[in-house]
Amino acid sequence: MNVILIAGFWLDGDSWSEVVPTLEQAGLTVHTPTLAGLSSVDDDRSEVTLASQTAEVVALVDSLTGADAGEKVVLVGHSGGGAIIHGVVDARPDRVERAIYVDSGPTPDGVAINPGLEATEADAPLPPWEDFDETDLRDLSDEQLARFREIAVPEPARVAHDQQHLVNPARYEVPITLISSTFSRAEIEEAIAAGIPYFTEVPLMARSTIVELPTGHWPQFTKPAELARLIVDAVGA
């Protein structure tokens, strides 16, 4: 089974490095693409959008599944990567076995990932740590915080600010798993019941599972082995 891991804001594909070995040991073929605008601080991000990054992943799915879509892939999206993989689910529902959202969710049509993220022209750099909630930073050591800032690449601003665009109701038939590290299952269920826009797609999905992994917003750094095992479990669900 091919598994595609999409990183969240400010991170490239190598940010999954501590998660990948466990997935490969489970027999999965893992792909960790670095999307346009995120390979270097010197990248030109002026033409990078939410739609263009989604199209990159759609093209990868097409290359892995073949013309007849006989094979399917599993998509994993962390944080802002959740919006991207949900766009791919919308574009290729017949080619996705399951979508796994790591401390993220299936961003609905018309909703932006982070419209308030500060940017300078096309670049949205990693904010100071004091701008994040304590829960987001939970379990990150000083060394990990320093390393994160060292490797962080400015996020293409339009990926954060553009609204999601979904058109295909067949997306609702794709099974999803939410691996939640900063929200409990009860908090997510409360948000769904309250109609909070970010979670409005979840109850529409035909098959959804919520799994808790209590830690900060970056479990690929703080609990990579535990995250990998939950991904393996979700793939086999």
Instruction: Dump pLDDT digits (tens) for 178-235.
Output: 999 999 999 999 999 999 988 999 999 999 999 999 999 999 999 999 999 999 999 9
Residue 131's pLDDT band, with cuts at 50, 70 and 90, is: very high
Mean pLDDT on 126-141: 97
At 71 the pLDDT is: 86
Report the topology of domain 2-235: Rossmann fold (3.40.50)
Residue 152, CA distances (Å) to 8, 98, 146, 147, 184 in order: 11, 29, 10, 8, 28
Mean pLDDT on 97-106: 97
Q: Are 234 and 77 a contacting pair, CB within 8 Å?
A: no
> What confidence tens digit (pLDDT) does each residue in 167-179 have?
999 999 999 999 9
Instruction: Indicate if the pLDDT at residue 237 is higher than 70.
Output: no
Of 41, 44, 124, 40, whose CA–CA distance to 80 is shortest?
124
Q: Are 5 and 19 a contacting pair, CB within 8 Å?
A: yes
Lowest mean pLDDT among 39-43, 49-53, 214-218, 225-229: 39-43
Q: What percent of the chain has pLDDT over 90?
A: 95
Domain ranges of the chain: 2-235
Instruction: Indicate if the pLDDT at residue 68 is higher than 90.
Output: no
Determine the longest span between alpha carbons in the chain, in angstroms: 49
At 85 the pLDDT is: 98
Instruction: Name the average pLDDT for the chain.
Output: 96
At 69 the pLDDT is: 57
φ, ψ (nearest 5 deg) of residue 58: -60, -45
- How far apart, in whole angstroms, are the C-alpha atoms of residue 99 and residue 105? 10
Residue 130, CA distances (Å) to 15, 36, 77 in order: 22, 28, 25
Residue 101 gets the label, from left (phi > 0), alpha (psi -120 to 50) or beta, of: beta
Sign of the Cα torsion 118, 129, 77, 28 reads: positive
Mean pLDDT on 15-30: 97
Task: Report the first-to-last Cα separation within the chain, whole angstroms.
Answer: 13
pTM, whole model, 2 decimals?
Answer: 0.96
At 124 the pLDDT is: 98
For residue 81, count other CB atoms closer than 10 A to its CB. Answer: 26
Residue 66's pLDDT band, with cuts at 50, 70 and 90, is: confident
> What confidence tens digit (pLDDT) does each residue in 103-112 have?
999 999 999 9
- How far apart, in whole angstroms, are the C-alpha atoms of residue 21 and residue 169? 35
The letter for the amino acid at 38 is: L
Q: What percent of the chain has pLDDT over 70?
A: 98
Q: Are 124 and 156 a contacting pair, CB within 8 Å?
A: yes
